[in-house]
Structure formats: structure tokens, C-alpha cells
Amino acid sequence: MRRREFAVGLAALGVAGCTAPEENEPASPTPTAPSRPPSASPTPSASPTPTPTATPTPSPVPRPARFEVATAVAVITELAGRIGPREASSAGYREAATYVEGRFTAAGLDVRRQTVRVPAGVSWGVRVPSGQADNLIATSPGFDGTRPHLVVGAHLDTVPQAPGAEDNASGVAIVLELARMAVLRPPRLPVLFAAFAAEEPRGDGDLRHHYGSRHYLAQLPAEERRAIRGMVSLDRVGTGPNVRVRTGGRAALTVADALVATGRRVRIATSRGTNRGSDHWSFEKVGIAAARVGGHGYAGYHNANDKPNLISRPQLTRTAALVWAYLL
């Protein structure tokens, strides 16, 4: 971290002035000083009053760019504990979006909402209505989407019956922490952070999935799309013995390769695989190198047991450390 040193200096200057008599004004007679008795002691001169010195105001010490697992767990507890299921067209999703927007803003990022229309359908065996949900797009002030940058995202919605601690409050919590850290220590490339809406299926097939990330890319100008150097989707990152890195197999493997190489460098175990079940797939389909981080199987998958007690703090820390090292 850079340390800024501030020095405060104050100087005081006193000026005394005399005024001469105006022309034609009679001068006052000069008084004769009385004679001093020989035995009289001289009058001591007064000591000058010292000028007070201002005490420098200490500058605030910035927080280090360090992953705070307790903060991530608090986010998971809020989303999956207090708010609960966040199906994309529900009031729960809208409350969760407001909460996450506030966290991005508090970290010092600018947040833009994108409205995504979602159709009625069946999500993991439960009928869901049509409606709309918002993507949250967060960037540092001055971000220029036409310049080379990275995208790091996580889906905010859940299937209707699940509180979604692992799927996917865990991914959202790490995205929020990485965003906060990136404000304190800018990565090698600017990063656009996203909480995507409506990733969960609303029916069978590719076109009934990943609505938020598909909408984001569909409205993105060609120049900004070309400026994306890679995308990481954090999806189910709070359980498992290592950090899974997976791709859909369509675009270049540069992001996945870099993540695995970073894992070797910082001594974080990774495992490779193929997967098209998260928002990275939307980016791969338009030719952008992307990878999903996360996705170990667990007992609470898409059911009412997906609660905060399932989350492993060491796994959150490993995952965040890997992606942060990749961003740097």
C-alpha cells in the first residue's frame, strides 16, 4: 500500500508601523526623562510571548486491500438468511438488488442498473411468473468501457425454493469484496463488476437460462465488447476442497489457463473441467475468453437447505485469493 505523508507548516509574521506628523502640524515637545537615582535597578524587559505551534492533523490510515472473510460471510447471511429466496421476478430479488447496490456504492463504485425482462416458465420444478429484474453494473469513477478491461460477475438470483447461500450468495459476496479491494489497490486492468439477474433456468434449453448476462452483452456496443480482455463468473464458491476452474469449450482458454497458472504461483489448488451452466457461457458464445470459478457438488443444491451454515470460510478465502491474484 502506498503511504501518503502530509506535512503541515504554519508561520506567523508581525509588522509594526509608525506614522509621521502631518505637514504644518506642530510637533509635540520632546519630554525630558526624569533623572534616575544612582541606586535604582534597571527595569527588566518583558519576555516575548512564544507563538503557538499548530499540531499536524494525522491523516486517516486507509484500509488495506485484504479480503475480509467475516464481511463476506455477513453478506451471505444477509442474502440467504434474512432475505432468502431471490427468484428473478420476485420481491426478494428486488430487495437483494437494493442491498447489493448499496454495498457497491459504499465501496466507492458507480452503479448502473439494467432492466432485464424475464418470461414466465418453470424453474427447477416450480412455476415462476414473467417480470423484470435488474443487472447491477459497478465500475470505478472514470471507467472507460472502450479501453481494455476485465469483467468479474456473479448471479444474484436463486431458484424459487432455495435461500441460495452457496448458489449464489457466495459468489456475490466475493464479487463485493473484490470490488472493495480494487478501489483500494487498482488491478492490472480496470475491472467491471456485475451482479447478474436471472441466471437460473426458466425452462429447458440454452435460451431459457442466463437472461441477465445475455442482455448485458446484447446491448453492449461492439467497441466495448471488443475491449473485454476476459470474464470470470463466480458461481458456488463456498464449498469444496479446491477451486474449480471450468469453461464451456467455445472461446479461447486464456482466462482459465491464467487462473490455473496463478493457482500454481500462489499455491492454491485448482481443478479443471467443462461447464456451460453459468454466466461465463454467455461471454464464450460471443467469442470472449471466460471461465467459471466454483461449482463443487453439495447437499443443499437448489433446495431449502442451501443456508449459510454450509459455507466454508477457508474455501471463500482460497477462491478470493486466487481471483485477486489473477486480477493483479
Asked whether residue 35 is assigned to any structural domain, the reply reads no
What are residue 246's DSSP bridge partners?
A: 273, 292
124-141 tens-digit pLDDT: 999 999 999 999 999 999
Cell numbers for 9: 507548516
Residue 44: predicted pLDDT:
46
Q: What CATH number does the domain containing 152 carry?
A: 3.40.630.10
Asked whether residue 258 is assigned to any structural domain, the reply reads yes
Give yes or no for residue 56 having a pLDDT over 80: no
Asked whether residue 267 is assigned to any structural domain, the reply reads yes
For the question of whether the overall pTM of this predicted structure is more than 0.85, the answer is no
Residue 57: predicted pLDDT:
59
Alpha carbons 285 and 298: distance in angstroms, whole number: 28
Domain limits for position 272: 69-327
211-254 tens-digit pLDDT: 999 999 999 999 999 999 999 999 999 999 999 999 999 999 99
What is the mean predicted confidence (pLDDT) over 252-273?
98
Which residues have a Cβ under 8 Å from the Cβ of 325 and sit 6 or more positions away? 262, 265, 266, 268
Distances (CA, A) of 126 to 87, 121, 294: 10, 8, 25
Look at 18 and 237; give whichever has higher pLDDT: 237
Domain total for the chain?
1
Asked whether residue 185 is assigned to any structural domain, the reply reads yes
Asked whether residue 91 is assigned to any structural domain, the reply reads yes
Give yes or no for residue 281 having a pLDDT over 70: yes
Give yes or no for residue 1 having a pLDDT over 50: no
Asked whether residue 260 is assigned to any structural domain, the reply reads yes
Asked whether residue 202 is assigned to any structural domain, the reply reads yes
- What one-character DSSP code corresponds to residue 325? H
Give yes or no for residue 111 having a pLDDT over 50: yes
Give yes or no for residue 36 having a pLDDT over 60: no
Asked whether residue 121 is assigned to any structural domain, the reply reads yes
Give yes or no for residue 184 having a pLDDT over 80: yes
Give yes or no for residue 13 having a pLDDT over 50: no
Percent of the chain whose pLDDT exceeds 70: 81
